[in-house]
Amino acid sequence: MLKKTLAGLGAGALLLGMTACGTEGGGGSGGDGNGGCVSEGGGGASDDGLVVGFAQVGAESAWRTANSESVQSAAEADDRIAELQFVDAQQEQENQIEAIRTFVTQQVDVIVLAPVVETGWTDVLTEACDAGIPVILADRGIEDADEDLYVTRLGSDFVEEGRKAGAWTVETFADDDNTRILELEGTVGSAPANDRNSGFFDVLDEESLPYELVDSQSGDFTAEGGKSVMETFISTHGLDDIDLLYAHNDEMGLGAIQAIEEAGYTPGEDIQIIIVDGSKAGFEAGVAGKLNYIVECNPVFGEQLMDVAVQVAEGEELDKFTAVEESVYGPDDFEAEVDNRQF
């Protein structure tokens, strides 16, 4: 299909997803009728297809690159989508806010936002709402107070990912008197950092595992961040009495592995390591024995997202949150799974 440029679109012709901010009773999926952005249902996709604006977080990880490719290739292959306006926000919320304002000015049909952090969205999402443009959250979520300002979220259950990491920790260190833990957190204020932290420690507390969180710092989901924070951990605490490193994503875990090796320790043996994502590079480190557990975070949901965009534009009722499928992998799985990884 020949994709149109946004400049070539009549602004009104493709305005399919009708939303309204107001107090009228909501029958749609976007809110509760108490002043939120309530979907009224759209007129269905026109022959020309939808124009979708996508404010992506950035390109900080293999996960993110795979997610961008999945969304872009799904939009390209989908005849119901006329145009995907893609913005790489370089991990800056202000760039995402600017992108959303541009999408509103351009009167795109649907806005997809992968919010870099959870807070600070009220004003700009109200502007999208006032313009009658429905918003879908992809990947990360935002604070509950703003839940009426988007229609639905498609992405990972980050709390559940943290709980899976916690369950493995409880099982692995069940016989220890005191498990000493280092945590490499994702971007401060982001949903995956907040939820992977709370899910993990909730399980440890629920199961009464004796543990000590020796240190926890953000590596901003990047390899450089993970390596640099791990170097600080090592110089501050040493590694001799540390049992576990819990890294909120592959890049930070892989950066930390480098720092651990440079300090003369053996990752996966001297210190056990959990990572979240499950990239090919992560699995290769697992095959090499350098880490011990992988909690999968699945970025390949572009086709599902296009379905959701069309459903939202047509005013269909949707659940507020749809979780993508994800698994977990231990040392016995690494070899068999490494060649199956898509990113």
Find the binder of ligand AHR among 277, 296, 316, 337 (CB under 6 A).
277
CA 247/CA 212 separation, integer angstroms: 16
Nearer to ligand AHR, 14 or 165 (CB): 165
Find the binder of ligand AHR among 133, 276, 294, 295 (CB under 6 A).
276
CB 257 within 8 A of CB 273: yes
Instruction: For the CB of residue 221, give the shortest distance to ligand AHR in the complex, in Å.
Output: 4
Containing H/E element for 85? strand 81-88
CB 109 within 8 A of CB 117: no
282 binds ligand AHR (CB under 6 A): no
Binding mask 136-165 for ligand AHR (x = CB under 6 A): ---xx-------------------------
CA 228/CA 208 separation, integer angstroms: 32
Instruction: For the CB of residue 250, give the shortest distance to ligand AHR in the complex, in Å.
Output: 6
Find the binder of ligand AHR among 221, 265, 293, 334 (CB under 6 A).
221
218 binds ligand AHR (CB under 6 A): no
Find the binder of ligand AHR among 36, 41, 53, 192 (CB under 6 A).
192
Q: ∠ at Cα 254 (212, 91), nearest 5°?
A: 95
Residue where the block lists tokens 């300090």 = 263
297 binds ligand AHR (CB under 6 A): yes
246 binds ligand AHR (CB under 6 A): no
Using the 8-state DSSP alphabet, how is residue 220 labeled? T
Task: Kindly give, in sequence order, each residue whose CB lies less than 8 Å from that of residue 47, ignoring residues fewer than 6 positions away.
Answer: none
Nearer to ligand AHR, 157 or 243 (CB): 157
CB atoms within 10 A of CB 26: 19
Instruction: For the CB of residue 58, give the shortest distance to ligand AHR in the complex, in Å.
Output: 8
CB 39 within 8 A of CB 318: no
61 binds ligand AHR (CB under 6 A): yes
Binding mask 9-48 for ligand AHR (x = CB under 6 A): ----------------------------------------
Instruction: For the CB of residue 132, give the shortest distance to ligand AHR in the complex, in Å.
Output: 28
CA 252/CA 258 separation, integer angstroms: 10
CB 253 within 8 A of CB 226: yes
Find the binder of ligand AHR among 15, 60, 163, 227 (CB under 6 A).
60
CA 48/CA 108 separation, integer angstroms: 13
Size of the site for ligand AHR (CB under 6 A): 12
Q: What values do phi and psi take at 198, rounded to 5?
A: -65, -40
Task: Kindly give, in sequence order, each residue whose CB lies less than 8 Å from that of residue 244, ignoring residues fewer than 6 positions away.
Answer: 169, 173, 179, 180, 181, 182, 271, 272, 273, 274
**Alpha helices for the chain (secondary structure H):** 62-77, 93-106, 122-130, 158-172, 191-206, 223-237, 250-262, 280-287, 302-313, 331-337
Instruction: For the CB of residue 139, give the shortest distance to ligand AHR in the complex, in Å.
Output: 5
- Per CB under 6 A, the segment of 29-37, 55-63, 121-129, 335-343 that binds ligand AHR is 55-63
Q: Which positions lie near ligand AHR, rule CB under 6 A?
A: 60-61, 63-64, 139-140, 192, 221, 249, 276-277, 297
